[in-house]
Amino acid sequence: MNLRDALAQPSPWRHNNKVDIDFPMLVACMLLMGIGLVMIASASSAVAYTNTGNTFHYFIRHMIYVAIALVAGGVTLFIPMSVWQRHSGWLLVAAFFILTVVLIPGVGREVNGSRRWLGVGVLNIQPSELAKLFMVVFVAGFLVRRKAEVQQRLRGLLKPLGLALLMAFLLIKEPDYGAVVVLLGSVIIMLFLGGVSLVLSAPLLIILGLVFFFFIGFEQYHLERMISFTDPWVDQYGSGYQLSQALIAFGRGEWLGLGLGNSIQKQFFLPEAHTDFVFSVLAEELGMIGALTTLALFMFVSVRALYIGVWAEQAKQYYSAYLAYGLALLWIAQVLINLGVNVGLLPTKGLTLPFISYGGSSLVVCCISLAMLLRIEWERRTQLLAEDSMSKAQITAMAKGVRGAR
């Protein structure tokens, strides 16, 4: 089925001449996106005025990203899950291609020592965001195609895990360690949900853990970065600078916050205030109440995404179920790592907060993921309605047959 055929099919946008969509999930994600717009307008104002002379420079760019993301999500709603499953292999090939291209000097754009972006005109595309999504799409299909192999043979575990490790290697070369953790964590949990035996996987997981700790200790700056977050005040103006400034922002916010737009830390005290550390500015301006409300929204959409997977599995739509689990895990991992970094529970990593942080690639992928989840929920519900209608028709036909026999 090509894209034109897919767009001609029924979808959540037009089913029985009405919009038939999971509104609780959609509304919660739109609220998060709205919070992101407000906080980016506030958190980026000082740096935008200094860099460009326009206080709303980054806010305007982010609004453009929002428009692109909404269009991408809207188109995704028309695409059946069977199309994603059929082309999952090619999407994985595309993921490896863009992750390789971004490493080529002169092609990939280097910012702050990391080569993570591909330039398309005035826009920057971050291949790691698409790569994580495409890997989840592929693993979901693999778990369906090779279910017996995954559950009973070691090679069923090694194949997808080997591909994930190869992708992680490319991400390390950028480097993008946060994406590595999100990718490997999501894939490993998906494999467990697919029925991988603990007896087969335990030795491999132990080896991976040892390799991880060896990698940390191999370079001195890796070790220092891992340790500095435990007490950022020891080197407040060095390795612990970002975290100490983030914690000051949380302290200033108290319960009700300083008020929208009144953050002090965004005035060049806190680096990356509108990207990786936007949650710290949110806590400073909106207080603990605003931070907990945002966290509650993230908890709702994450749990809802997992439930969509459970509902799809109950309807025997196994590909959709595994894909929903994977998308939920990507969100959960990014939220936990970003918030953990902001409050000092995890080492500093450059990882965006879904739907809220400044960045076009992250926002587009989040909206595509949301559209996939909405499509999964709709397909599961329409299948159940069709099965229920068939059952009623069969009962009616049987009743007519009984009356006719009489």
Backbone angles phi, psi at 114, to 5 degrees: -115, 135
CA–CA distance, 97 with 110 (Å, rounded to integer): 18
Burial (CB count <10 Å: 0-12, 13-18, 19+), residue 398: exposed
Q: Say which amino acid occupies 91.
A: L
Beta strands in 186-290 (DSSP E): none
Backbone angles phi, psi at 110, to 5 degrees: -100, 125
Q: Say which amino acid occupies 101.
A: V
Backbone angles phi, psi at 49, to 5 degrees: -65, -40
CA–CA distance, 351 with 132 (Å, rounded to integer): 13
pTM: 0.91
Q: Say which amino acid occupies 218.
A: F
- The pLDDT score that the predictor gives to residue 403 is 60
Q: Which positions of the chain have pLDDT values less than 50? A: none
- The pLDDT score that the predictor gives to residue 231 is 77
Q: How many CB atoms lie within 10 A of CB 231?
A: 13
CA atoms within 13 A on the CB side of 43: 29
Cβ-contact 109, 124 below 8 angstroms: yes
Tell me the pLDDT of the chain averaged across its residues: 87
- The pLDDT score that the predictor gives to residue 164 is 94
CA–CA distance, 67 with 302 (Å, rounded to integer): 23
Please tell me whether residue 115 adopts helix, strand or coil conformation. Answer: strand
Cβ-contact 385, 316 below 8 angstroms: no
**DSSP code for 232:** G
- The pLDDT score that the predictor gives to residue 215 is 62
- The pLDDT score that the predictor gives to residue 7 is 53
- The pLDDT score that the predictor gives to residue 263 is 93
CA–CA distance, 366 with 23 (Å, rounded to integer): 17
Q: Which helix (H) or strand (E) holds 116?
A: strand 114-120
- The pLDDT score that the predictor gives to residue 391 is 56
- The pLDDT score that the predictor gives to residue 214 is 67
Using the Cα atoms of residue 230, residue 234, residue 235 and residue 237 in order, give the sign of their dihedral. positive
In angstroms, the Cα distances linking 278 to 342, 380, 401 are: 9, 36, 67
Tokens of residue 131, six digits: 């790569």
- The pLDDT score that the predictor gives to residue 386 is 67
